[in-house]
Copies of this chain bind each other. A is one copy, B any other.
Amino acid sequence: MASDLAADIEALLFLSPSPVSVADLAEACRAGEPEVEAAVAELESRLGDTGRGLVLRRVSGGLALATAPGSEAAARRLLARPRTPPLTRAQAETLAIVAYLQPVSRPEIARIRGVSSESAVASLGERGLIEESGKSRFGAVLYRTSELFEKLFGLESLEGLPDPSSFDPDPGDERALRERLLSIGEQRVGS
């Protein structure tokens, strides 16, 4: 029994992004706090065995799992390297809209592209290319490009964004870029 409880606690601490109190562990495991304390001690000693990559930390908020010291260099090589797979068409369009119009809300992106852009926004956020930047008057989250974005595109600043006019099918149109994108986006939905 005690070892099952230790396993459950290991699982719970693994899943939780923040520290968990003994009381919360006891409630989730439907066990008493003294049993949880005993199981935590058992888990801690087991994790202390040689060859384990995880350790138990007691912090102010409760208990947490963390990586054992010694793996930082490998972790940095694996994870501190920005992920830069090629952008899909949806991601490229979404990123371009954020880059040229920032700050811009997701509904606005969807209106310009003519399709819901939820997953493109999410994956660009996950890769650190765009970030939230407050809310619009109507309460929608606004997005802007990040510092990482500038680095990955080799830009000194946003001033360095290329002029889209060489790709513009109608460079003579004097209206603001935002206005033009929105009006063409509406045609896209309407067709």
Contacts and interface: CB of A to CB of B under 8 A. Distances in A.
A68 B12 CA distance: 10
Interface stretch (A21-29, A149-157, A170-178, A179-187): A21-29
A51 B11 CA distance: 11
Contacts of A137: none
A52 B20 CA distance: 19
Nearest to A146: B119
A79 to B, nearest CB: 6
A103 to B, nearest CB: 12
A52 B52 CA distance: 12
Size band of the interface chain A makes with B: 35 or more
A27 B73 CA distance: 12
Given A11-B71, A77-B27, A132 B53 contact: no
Contact of A12 (B6, B15, B51, B71): B71
B131 A54 contact: no
Given A8-B75, A12-B74, 20 more contacts: A7-B53, A7-B70, A7-B71, A8-B53, A10-B71, A12-B75, A14-B14, A14-B53, A14-B65, A14-B67, A15-B67, A15-B75, A15-B79, A16-B79, A24-B78, A28-B75, A88-B132, A88-B134, A118-B126, A119-B131
Interface of A: 3-4, 6-12, 14-17, 20, 24-25, 27-30, 46, 50-54, 65, 67-68, 70-71, 74-75, 77-79, 88-90, 115-116, 118-119, 125-126, 128, 131-134, 141, 146
26 contacts: A3-B51, A4-B51, A4-B70, A6-B53, A7-B52, A8-B74, A10-B54, A11-B53, A11-B68, A12-B53, A12-B75, A12-B78, A12-B79, A14-B53, A14-B67, A15-B75, A16-B78, A17-B126, A20-B78, A27-B77, A28-B75, A30-B77, A88-B132, A89-B134, A118-B125, A119-B128
